[in-house]
Amino acid sequence: MKRDLDALMEARGLDAFVVSGRTYGNPSLVYLLNGAAVTQGIVVKKRGETPVFIHSPIERDEAAASGLLLVNMARYHFTDILRETGDRLKATVELYRRIFADLEVRGNVGFYGMADQGQAYLFLSALAKALPEIRVRGEYDEALLDVARATKDAGEVAQIREVARLTCEVVEETVAFLRRHPVKDETLITDDGAPLTVGRVKEYVFRLLAERRLESPEGFIFAIGRDAGVPHSQGRPDDPIRLGQTIVYDIFPRRAGGYYFDLTRTFCLGYAPPEVEKVYRDVADCLDAVVAEVRVGVEARRLQQVACAFFAGRGYPTIAEHPETEVGFNHLIGHGLGLAIHEEPVFTDVPSNTRTLQPGHVFTVEPGLYDPGKGYGVRLEDVLWIDEAGRVHNLTPLPKELVVEM
Amino acid sequence: MKRDLDALMEARGLDAFVVSGRTYGNPSLVYLLNGAAVTQGIVVKKRGETPVFIHSPIERDEAAASGLLLVNMARYHFTDILRETGDRLKATVELYRRIFADLEVRGNVGFYGMADQGQAYLFLSALAKALPEIRVRGEYDEALLDVARATKDAGEVAQIREVARLTCEVVEETVAFLRRHPVKDETLITDDGAPLTVGRVKEYVFRLLAERRLESPEGFIFAIGRDAGVPHSQGRPDDPIRLGQTIVYDIFPRRAGGYYFDLTRTFCLGYAPPEVEKVYRDVADCLDAVVAEVRVGVEARRLQQVACAFFAGRGYPTIAEHPETEVGFNHLIGHGLGLAIHEEPVFTDVPSNTRTLQPGHVFTVEPGLYDPGKGYGVRLEDVLWIDEAGRVHNLTPLPKELVVEM
């Protein structure tokens, strides 16, 4: 949480940190700016002090909404610095030298926020050389801002709950839309007599999202049959919607610039083949088994272990024993969820992953079983939240039913 | 253009390059992947060879749509590498060591694509140390992928034209929506008798966008009166829509994961004050003057100089002489437009900016004059494209009219 920033800085020996870049695709910057509708900027925070936002002059109104201390970038006359140095890299180093001098930043300084990787390497290498009074720091794993963002406060959870509510509505409306279609030769038929396709369903879903002012910038998965058997296949637009086939519907929308939700349901229209019924029960049971393990202090990797052991016990291959398997359970059990779809905590099952579940964590649990050769896949995904008292809440108020009656 | 990649590599002395990261907010990766709907990956290109895409195993279907040579990441057993090294940074270095060995990558290797800047610094520093057979390269300015992306081929221009067409429709429909409202005491009134507000207009615009399957991930500007006088103020939701005030409407949507368009019109409903009429004419004349300068070989900074000189000649302050001015012309004359809203070419007026306009460039020209104290701002923005024969095309088929009759 934001209130942990000073403690996290202290644990890392940081005297200050910088988060910079454009806001688009840069959740740590959006986080610190409290959602202010600016396009870019530099946030500098010293330990124990309020962050300072160095903002574009033409965004001074929007910058004020951040609630941070404001410094107008115009005062640095960056174009003049560019003229003096004759080089954008040198000019940027000089800009930071002046900012750090004004704000009296020295010592260990962490750098975060999205940038072109080659440019970040050149810039931070040059900065480290040019400013002996600071030491450039960063963390490759469990980076400060990622860890702070992982534990959500009440206001953040309220925003996630609202997106959850709307996302559940979208899924229910999608199922209702499917059920309104007549069936001919096991295939859903549209008004013009043609088969209903994945592409048509997706168009309808985009409309449902837009009506709720949700955006889905990374698309969503609506995949049927064989494609449902490949976890991240988004679904082929021309595929007809047929009875008795698994449909994996995995959708992860957000309010513009805000918190994501993430939800997966699998269903068959009309009826389900017996093998799919069994697989579905096993996935649902696995979800229950994993959720039962969730409590403060448990190692995150334990959830991955529980899922793999559960599925192995029921006779399925898993990536724990078969890293290249395309059949069975072949992905991570979940991921943190917030301003990014995938964030801390990370559930990879390796000994070096010593993360433990903490109050405030919001994350998905999403076991799945796949067999593309047999033409099916099943995944179920709920979002859990551990509140400050350590109680575990399921944030996905949507039932799970394999068969949708037609 | 993509066909220039080898020549651009040669000019930079690169034997190979890497573009990696998540696709979201990472236009250079999206570009190389030809829009394939994957969430992440590593692209490695050696000079003279087809790029190789190392993709997630659960995204193998979507990866195939990239048209690149495919390598399934599952073969590297990254979790085992994590176990062996006990550290995510060391494991990632080892992963790249194996990938480079398999692909026989050595020599000067450029690194591009969005990453957390601290992590990029740590990773590339560690990689440079661990792999003596490669030299880590990047460019802080005019980076290879940015330069390649700046010149659009016919297929890219066709996509931009389609978004242009839809964006113009949205603007026209917005104006029609405004005109449908009755006026009382100089203010537009809704059905329920309350004033029409900026917030209500924005809701309507979001619906117009959604109907056309456009997204506007960075919002848009619909600002009236004093807010129109601050270039990037997005507009306050509670502001009523009144006659005789400048409305700056600056909208920059895209198809999901695709090319942006960017369009600004300024208008007054009912009538315009005489001072605004004059300012509007000066902005429109400046746009014409800048467009008249556009041709292959002209320095990009020249457009900024022309705009500043033009406005100075008509008696307005500009950032050329007053870097901190909030009145007059106080921003860049334009920016390249493509998979990012702001990309190459860059128009900053400094001697080190030696960029010249080239066939394939698509960029905005957007002069503006602002006076927040007097409560107005005017900006007009068209998009230009220089085709392969050097002909200049205006891609914004929308008239400019200051006064909208009510």
Alpha-carbon gap: B211 to the closest alpha carbon of chain A (Å): 7
Tell whether the model's pLDDT for residue A210 goes beyond 90.
no
Residues in chain A: 406
Residues A88 and A224 placed together within one structural domain of the fold: no
Beta-carbon-side half-sphere exposure of residue B210 (alpha carbons within 13 Å):
20
Distance CA B110, CA A115 (A): 15
Q: CB distance from A10 to chain B under 8 Å?
A: no
- b/e per residue, B26-42, with b = 16+ CB within 10 A? bbbbbbbbebbbbbbbb
Alpha-carbon gap: A74 to the closest alpha carbon of chain B (Å): 5
pLDDT along chain B (406 residues), means of 10: 97 98 96 94 98 96 96 96 96 98 98 98 98 96 97 97 98 98 97 96 92 89 96 94 98 93 98 98 98 98 98 98 95 98 97 97 98 97 98 97 97
- Chain B CB contacts of A59 below 8 Å: 232-233
Q: Which H or E run contains B22?
A: strand B16-22
Q: CB distance from B231 to chain A under 8 Å?
A: yes
Q: CB distance from B392 to chain A under 8 Å?
A: no
- Chain A's closest residue to B210, CA to CA, is A210
Pairing of strands B16-22, B107-112: parallel
- Chain B's closest residue to A77, CA to CA, is B323
Q: Which of B121, B139, B348 sits opposite A124 (nearest CB)?
A: B121
- Contact yes or no for B110 and A118 at CB 8 A: yes
CA-nearest of B127, B148, B114 to B10 is B148
Q: Which of A83, A111, A230 sits opposite B351 (nearest CB)?
A: A83
Mean pLDDT value of segment A85-96 = 97
Q: Which of A62, A143, A206 sits opposite B213 (nearest CB)?
A: A206
Residues B24 and B77 placed together within one structural domain of the fold: yes
- Chain B CB contacts of A23 below 8 Å: 218
- Percent pLDDT > 90 in chain A is 97
- Contact yes or no for B124 and A121 at CB 8 A: yes
- Chain B CB contacts of A29 below 8 Å: none
- Contact yes or no for B256 and A213 at CB 8 A: no
CA-nearest of A216, A260, A242 to A362 is A260
Distance CA B147, CA B10 (A): 14
Q: Which of B86, B111, B257 sits opposite A351 (nearest CB)?
A: B86
**What is the pLDDT confidence band of residue A23, given thresholds at 50, 70 and 90?**
very high
- Contact yes or no for A219 and B21 at CB 8 A: no
Q: Where are the alpha helices (DSSP H) in A180-248?
A: 198-211
Residues B88 and B41 placed together within one structural domain of the fold: yes
* SS3 (DSSP) at B286: helix
Between the alpha carbon of residue B253 and those of residues A209, B207, B214, B220, the distances in Å are 17, 13, 6, 8
Residues B216 and B175 placed together within one structural domain of the fold: yes
Tell whether the model's pLDDT for residue A325 goes beyond 90.
yes
Residues A275 and A357 placed together within one structural domain of the fold: yes
Whether B47 contacts B14, CB under 8 Å? yes
Lowest average pLDDT, out of A174-188, A309-323, B207-221, goes to B207-221
Q: CB distance from A257 to chain B under 8 Å?
A: yes
Residues A251 and A191 placed together within one structural domain of the fold: yes
> Quick one: pLDDT at residue B257?
82
Mean pLDDT value of segment A7-21 = 98
Residues B188 and B286 placed together within one structural domain of the fold: yes
Beta-carbon-side half-sphere exposure of residue A356 (alpha carbons within 13 Å):
7
Angle at B344 between CA A127 and CA A145, to 5 degrees: 45
Q: With a threshold of 0.90, tell me whether the complex ipTM lies above it.
A: yes
The domain of A136 spans 2-148
* Count of structural domains, chain A: 2
Distance CA B10, CA B48 (A): 10
Please give the torsion angle defined by the CA atoms of residues A340, A344, A349 and A353, in that order, rounded to the nearest 10 degrees: 150
**What is the pLDDT confidence band of residue A158, given thresholds at 50, 70 and 90?**
very high
* Interacting residues of B11 by C-beta distance below 8 A, sequence separation 6+: none
- Chain A CB contacts of B71 below 8 Å: none
Output the six-digit token pair for B303: 């457009």
Q: Which of B75, B88, B207 sits opposite A324 (nearest CB)?
A: B75
Region of A61 on the Ramachandran plot (φ > 0 left; ψ -120 to 50 alpha; else beta): alpha
- Chain B CB contacts of A211 below 8 Å: 210
- Please say which residue of B148, B179, B212 terminates a domain: B148
Phi, psi of A298 (to 5 degrees): -70, 140
CATH of the domain at B248: 3.90.230.10
Whether A56 contacts A41, CB under 8 Å? yes
Q: What is the DSSP letter of A365?
A: E
- Chain B's closest residue to A72, CA to CA, is B324
Number of H helices, E strands in chain A: 11, 20
Residues A217 and A270 placed together within one structural domain of the fold: yes
The residues that bridge with A240 in the sheet, in sequence order, are A197
**What is the pLDDT confidence band of residue A144, given thresholds at 50, 70 and 90?**
very high
- Contact yes or no for B92 and A211 at CB 8 A: no
* SS3 (DSSP) at B125: helix
CA-nearest of A148, A94, A101, A104 to A126 is A94
Whether B349 contacts B306, CB under 8 Å? no
Q: What is the DSSP letter of B345?
A: S
> Quick one: pLDDT at residue A35?
86
- Please say which residue of B148, B174, B199 terminates a domain: B148
Rg (alpha carbons) of chain B, rounded to whole number: 24
Which sign, positive or negative, has the C-alpha torsion A23, A27, A29, A33? positive
Could you report the per-residue pLDDT of A326-382, keeping only the tens digit for each?
A: 999 999 999 999 999 999 999 999 999 999 999 999 999 999 999 999 999 999 999
Q: What is the DSSP letter of B192?
A: T
> Quick one: pLDDT at residue B291?
98
CA-nearest of B287, B241, B272, B283 to B378 is B283
- Please say which residue of B148, B165, B200 terminates a domain: B148
Alpha-carbon gap: A405 to the closest alpha carbon of chain B (Å): 30
Residues A214 and A108 placed together within one structural domain of the fold: no
Q: Which of A121, A257, A331 sits opposite B120 (nearest CB)?
A: A121
**What is the pLDDT confidence band of residue A218, given thresholds at 50, 70 and 90?**
confident
Residues B336 and B289 placed together within one structural domain of the fold: yes
Residues A318 and A334 placed together within one structural domain of the fold: yes
- Contact yes or no for A256 and B219 at CB 8 A: yes
Output the six-digit token pair for B40: 């992440």
Alpha-carbon gap: B126 to the closest alpha carbon of chain A (Å): 11
Residues 325-384 of A with CB under 8 A from B: 326, 330-331, 341-342, 348-352
CATH of the domain at A78: 3.40.350.10
Distance CA A197, CA A242 (A): 9
Whether B49 contacts B42, CB under 8 Å? no
Residues 121-150 of B with CB under 8 A from A: 121-125, 136-141, 143
Mean pLDDT value of segment A76-84 = 96
Distance CA A396, CA B134 (A): 48
- Contact yes or no for B143 and A349 at CB 8 A: no
Tell whether the model's pLDDT for residue A211 goes beyond 90.
no
- Chain A CB contacts of B216 below 8 Å: 256
- Chain A CB contacts of B348 below 8 Å: 79, 82
- Chain A CB contacts of B28 below 8 Å: 116
Long-range contacts, stretch A186-193, CB < 8 angstroms, 24+ apart: A186/A242, A186/A243, A186/A244, A186/A270, A187/A240, A187/A241, A187/A242, A187/A243, A188/A240, A188/A241, A188/A242, A188/A243, A188/A269
* SS3 (DSSP) at B7: helix
Residues B117 and B185 placed together within one structural domain of the fold: no
Distance CA B107, CA B46 (A): 10
Tell whether the model's pLDDT for residue A256 goes beyond 90.
no
Q: Which of B39, B61, B140 sits opposite A119 (nearest CB)?
A: B140
CA B183 to chain centre: 37
Q: What is the DSSP string of A43-87?
A: EEEETTS--EEEE-GGGHHHHHTT-SEEEEGGGG-HHHHHHHHSS
